[in-house]
Amino acid sequence: MSDVITAQFVELDLPATDKTTVTRLLAQRLADGGRVTDLDGFLADVAAREEQMPTGLEGGIGIPHARSAHVTEATLAFGRCAEGVDFGASDGPARHIFLIAAPDSGGSEHLKILASLARRLVHASFREALDQAPDAASAADLIRKEIAS
Amino acid sequence: MNIVAVTSCPTGIAHTYMAAEALEQAAKAAGHTIHVETQGSAGLDAVSPEVIAAADAVIFAADVEVRERQRFDGKPLVTGTVKDGINHADDLVARAVAAAEKAPAGSTSAAAAPDLVTKTEEGASFGTQLRGWLMTGVSYMIPFVAAGGLLIALAFIIGGGDVVNQVNGGTYNGKEYEAITDVSTILSEVGIAGVLFKLGALAFGLLVPVLAGFIAFAMADRPGLAPGFVAGLVASEIGAGFLGGLVGGLLAGGLALWLSRIQVPAAVRGMMPVLVVPLLATAIVGFLMLQIVGPPIADLQTALTDWLNGLDGASSIVLGLILGGMMAVDLGGPVNKVAYTFGVAGVASGSFGPMAAVMVAGMTPPIAMALATVLRPKLFNDAERKAGESAWLLGGSFITEGAIPFAAADPLRVLPSAILGSAAAGALVMALDVTSRAPHGGIWVVGLIGNPLGYILAILLGTGITAAAVIALKSHGARKAGSPDGAAAAATSTARPAAQF
């Protein structure tokens, strides 16, 4: 089982544009890393989920996500954006963006990892630690450790 | 304060778990105990019935329908979106506490243990699992038995015993009837009793499919439903009765479960539960039932019929004994049908004793089970006790199917008991020269019964024997394996909700 996140899937300086653009930037990293087989197909699945209900959450979080046939295994991409990108949360733009890619079926081990990640997201201390991460590798390390704890 | 919460969201990979975490944090901060059931895609960790029973309030933070929500019926409930659960968890917890405090005392105990959910957890012993599967099928079947059976009984009460023949054709008390082919004319031709009978008969048609379908569902979840239902339909079609339904349901569920566990490439994995597994399991089990189970049943029926017809020389008491026992062997299955057909054929040829024997023998199993649930309620679980309530009237109306819920849940103890009592009742009918000119109707056609006193005596004798036998057998089993109530409680305590049903 591959790591759910590595430095390759972290972008600490996302441009302050819009959610479609930053989602594509993060998804591109997943595609480059072989976790997403069809970038546009995956983005369409994410957009479809986003249309049901925006995934922005209070506390400056955006969690675009989808279960998609174009995902090879459950993977997380993390992006930080100092100015924030609007993900539809009531209290303002998202500064932490977690793009969650889950395969269409099977692999409940991976889904459990995503579940425990989702649980960690709720904790403000986790997000503050992510703010302090100096580089992509340490951010990825931090997330992996949090999930394992 | 004890709180139970359910979180769920459309995708089931993120919000569900965030809301669960937020609710747990909020409840902890406010000094409450909380159990959260996450209905997401990483499996479902169902809160146990005990936890639900102990809860003071329930929170649903859900954007999709909460699965098995009836488990929480009767509890003070607050609902919100899954985002409310994440962003305003403390608010939801506060509302739940307020709802619990506002609720009238005692209302929190109103939520009954989920008697319909007896699905067993993997890892339990095979015997416990098997009992759980059978009980799941039985508990879903009971409403069909009750509704269908009571409709038919009502039709007899309103329309008399010949209502069956007015709808289905045949001979009744020496009179020939034409079957009604266009159901829309039943009301004008036969009246309301005919309609009630037809509805009851249709509901009964679902009895075996529902039994088989939900046995398979208990084993393999949703992929088992279609193969199970079809296996049950085939069992009805080949006249295999509820025992055929049990076999078909177990086969279908086992096969669907096995097929679901085959590792397949990711590309087809999504198609497995809704397409591949149901298709293959339905085709294979259906074929087996039709081709492997069907022919021997037909052969058996032919052989039994020939054997009965060859019994001319035997004493009538022995014939009554045999006919009575056959009625209870499978409670509406192939052997029962042979005995019943023999009785009806007798009526047509002017010999009314065998008909009375099969009728009494078909009445005693449900009445006896009803009696047993009243005499020794602890030997039966909640679903069975409820089935017992309607079994009185079903048995009284010669609707033998009223005993099927009991027999399907515990065939090895119930069927021998039923056979014993029915055989004795059949023999007594013949010994006392009881006759029946009606092919059905039970106590409602007592006017067409010759020697009504003997008829009643035979019913009482058969009922007494079967009830005593089943109580003895079940008590013995209880001493060996813990009380059935304990076993049922164990089954419910490991119950998990039916996935997405």
Each domain of chain B, given as residue ranges in start order, spans 2-109, 126-205+314-493
Average pLDDT over residues B40-48: 73
Phi-psi domain of A106 (left: phi exceeds 0; alpha: psi -120 through 50; beta: other): left
- Axis crossing angle, helix A108-121 with helix B15-29, rounded to the nearest 10: 50
The residues in A 50-109 lying below 8 A from B, measured between CB atoms, are 52-53, 55, 57-58, 63, 65-67, 69, 72, 90, 100, 102-106, 108
DSSP strands (E only) in B158-240: 170-172, 175-177
Q: Is the pLDDT of residue B106 over 60?
A: no
The secondary structure of residue B44, as a DSSP letter, is B
* Least trusted range by pLDDT, from B183-192, B249-258, B348-357, B491-500: B491-500
Using alpha carbons only, how large is chain B's radius of gyration in Å?
26
Homologous superfamily of the B2-109 domain (CATH): Response regulator (3.40.50.2300)
Of the pLDDT bands very low, low, confident and very high (cuts 50, 70, 90), residue B228 is very high
Q: Which pLDDT score, from 0 to 100, does residue B156 have? A: 84
Nearest CA-CA distance, residue B200 and chain A, Å: 42
Catalytic, B9? Answer: yes
Q: Where are the domains of chain A?
A: 7-148
Calpha distance B135→B120 (Å, rounded): 10
Q: Which pLDDT score, from 0 to 100, does residue B501 have? A: 29
Give the strand pairing for A10-11 and A61-62.
unpaired
Q: Is the pLDDT of residue B18 over 50?
A: yes
Average pLDDT over residues B80-101: 89
Nearest CA-CA distance, residue A139 and chain B, Å: 20
The b/e string for B178-196 (b: 16+ C-beta within 10 A; e otherwise) is eebeeeeebeeebeebbbb
CB B402 within 8 A of CB B391: yes
* Domain A7-148 part of CATH 3.40.50.920: no
Q: Which pLDDT score, from 0 to 100, does residue A48 have? A: 87
**Considering only CB atoms, which chain B residues are within 8 Å of A65?**
11, 13-14
- For A104, nearest residue in chain B (alpha carbons): B270
The H or E element that residue A80 is part of is strand A75-85
Using alpha carbons only, how large is chain A's radius of gyration in Å?
14
Q: Is the pLDDT of residue A149 over 70?
A: no
Q: Is the pLDDT of residue B461 over 60?
A: yes
Average pLDDT over residues B308-332: 86
Q: What digits encode the pLDDT tens for the residues A5-26?
A: 899 999 999 888 898 999 999 9
Enter the tokens of residue B211: 């039994």
Q: Is the pLDDT of residue B119 over 80?
A: no
Dihedral angle at the C-alpha atoms of A96, A102, A107, A110, nearest 10 degrees?
Answer: -10
Pick the closest to residue A59 from A135, A116, A130, A4 (CA basis). A130
